[in-house]
Amino acid sequence: MKQLTILVPDAQTGPNTLSCIVGAYHIFTEANNHYTRQGKKQVFRIELAGVSERSAFVNGLLTIMPQVHIRAVQKTDLIIIPAITSNFKKTEAANTLLVNWILEQYKKGAGVASMCTGAYLLASTGLLDKKSCSIHWNAIDNFKKLFPKVHLKAEKLITDEQGIYTNGGGYSFLNLLIYLVEKYYDRQTAIYCSKIFQIDIDRQTQSDFMIFTGQKAHGDEVIKKAQEYIEKNFYEKISVEQLSRKFTIGRRNFDRRFIKATGNTPIEYLQRVKIESAKKALETTRKTINEVMYEVGYADVKAFREVFRKITGMSPLEYKNKYNKEAAVLY
């Protein structure tokens, strides 16, 4: 029987930490029970491991008592790292032991899965350097600053690379758990768990949940002014040449500074601002797709659809049907 270790952090925890721990324990326990009912042996021995006898959550309202201290776990096969606080700054003393233990276990062959902002703890080990990683879209800017060597794939719901798994934000950790059940048990057990817990088994992206606000905590005041100009005039025809002239910067230098500051090219930034405005219109108004398209500065239906799908993972019509149930779907 394999060993599954669900970590119970004792520092920088957030409200979702507890949800991740309980969710992981519940789903893997049900997967084991499903196997047992079929006359098969359980895949995992499930254990909660922490650095103290009791960890408090939600301002002390709830507590978890880990079954074992992390030092007592000499060998495990799969590690689950729950979400932690989204304003993570550095590995605090209470988490250092967990970070070192994760690194040691991975070297021994353990798989490691982080849920949502648990990626901060995982990245602190160095194991995510030059690897793909997903995280909650609202934590992207802070994560990039702390871990620039990680290949952030925020649009991805799940990443799987060299025995390291990460997932997007919020309660999408449930999708990661179903993914791991399929990987360590089988497809049938994953389908069973997805039905019992009512989780969409084949969801691939979190793009449609992302709210684009633009990275402005970068210190480049000229680029910040350029961003603000784009956000106020996105419905007009704006070229990169026009922007570079307006802010008296050479085209190449403007591109370089813009990418360094925001993580996007000027064109990508403009597209994201346009699509964010289109999303809000589709969510809250009865306007047709064409009306929304023209309002955000597109004249070509095909181009608008392609950019919208690239950013959100779905067509404008699919997005409207999903998020605006009361609007008449007209085209």
Q: Is residue 253 part of a domain?
A: yes
The SS3 call for residue 50 is strand
Q: Are residues 119 and 53 in the same domain?
A: yes
166 and 79 assigned to the same domain: yes
Question: Are both 270 and 138 inside the same structural domain?
Answer: no
**What tokens were used for 152?**
């952030």
Instruction: Please indicate, yes or no, whether residues 23 and 94 belong to a single structural domain of this protein.
Output: yes
Any domain includes 86 = yes
Q: Do 181 and 225 fall into the same domain?
A: no
Stated as kind and residue range, the H or E segment containing 272 is helix 266-284
214 within domain boundaries? no
Q: How many CB atoms lie within 10 A of CB 5?
A: 27
Torsion sign over Cα 157, 94, 181, 147: positive
Question: How many distinct structural domains can be found in the chain?
Answer: 2
Sheet with 158-161, strands from edge to edge, namely: 68-69, 44-50, 2-8, 78-81, 111-114, 164-167, 158-161
Identify residue 68 by its one-letter amino acid code: V
Beta strands 44-50 and 2-8 are parallel
The answer as to whether 299 is a domain residue is yes
Domain CATH code at residue 31: 3.40.50.880
Print pLDDT tens along the chain (331 aa).
Answer: 999 999 999 888 877 899 999 999 999 999 999 999 999 999 999 999 998 888 878 777 788 889 999 999 999 999 999 998 877 877 777 788 999 999 999 999 999 999 999 999 999 999 999 999 999 888 888 898 899 999 988 788 899 999 999 998 888 899 999 999 999 999 999 999 999 999 987 776 766 666 687 778 788 999 999 999 999 999 988 999 999 999 999 999 999 999 988 888 999 999 999 999 999 999 888 899 999 999 999 999 999 999 999 988 889 999 998 888 765 444 4
Measure CA 202 to chain center. Answer: 16
> Which residue, of 158, 189, 209, is where some domain finishes?
209
Chain centroid, CA 218 distance in Å: 22
Could you say which of 209, 236, 255 is where a domain stops?
209
pLDDT score of 327:
53
Alpha helices (runs of H) in 108-214, residue ranges in sequence order: 119-123, 140-146, 173-184, 187-196
Within a domain: 216 = no
Q: Both 26 and 112 in a single domain?
A: yes
Q: Is residue 61 a part of any domain in this protein?
A: yes
Q: Locate tokens 């032991």: which residue?
A: 97
Cα 14 to Cα 21: distance, rounded to the nearest angstrom: 12
Q: Domain check: are 153 and 275 in the same one?
A: no
pLDDT at residue 208, rounded to an integer: 66
CATH number at residue 303: 1.10.10.60
Six-digit token pair at 65? 């008592």
| Residue that is last in its domain, among 179, 209, 239 | 209
Q: Which position has the token pair 């350097």?
A: 129
Together in a domain, 195 and 228: no
> 318 is written with which tokens?
């699919």
Q: Three-class SS of residue 292?
A: helix
Residue 329 lies in a domain: no
AA letter at 221: E
For residue 83 the two structure tokens come to 């979400």
Residue 109 structural domain: 2-209
Q: Tell whether 225 and 190 lie within a shared domain.
A: no
Residue 331 within any structural domain of the chain: no
Q: Cα separation of 23 and 167, whole Å?
A: 14
In the three-class reduction of DSSP (H, G, I as helix; E, B as strand; rest coil), residue 131 is classed as coil
Dist. CA 296–CA 193, nearest whole Å: 42
Q: At what angle do helices 221-233 and 251-262 cross, to 10 degrees?
A: 90
Phi-psi category of residue 85: left, alpha or beta, with phi > 0 → left and psi -120 to 50 → alpha:
beta
Pair (203, 260) in one structural domain: no
Residue 178: closest CA among 40, 83, 111, 188: 188
Report the sign of the C-alpha dihedral through residues 86, 150, 263, 20, in that order.
negative
Domain identity same for 201 and 283:
no
Please indicate, yes or no, whether residues 175 and 294 belong to a single structural domain of this protein. Answer: no
| Half-sphere CA count of 224, side-chain side, radius 13 A | 7
Whole-angstrom distance, CA of residue 224 vs CA of residue 20: 37
Please give the single-letter amino acid code of residue 234.
F
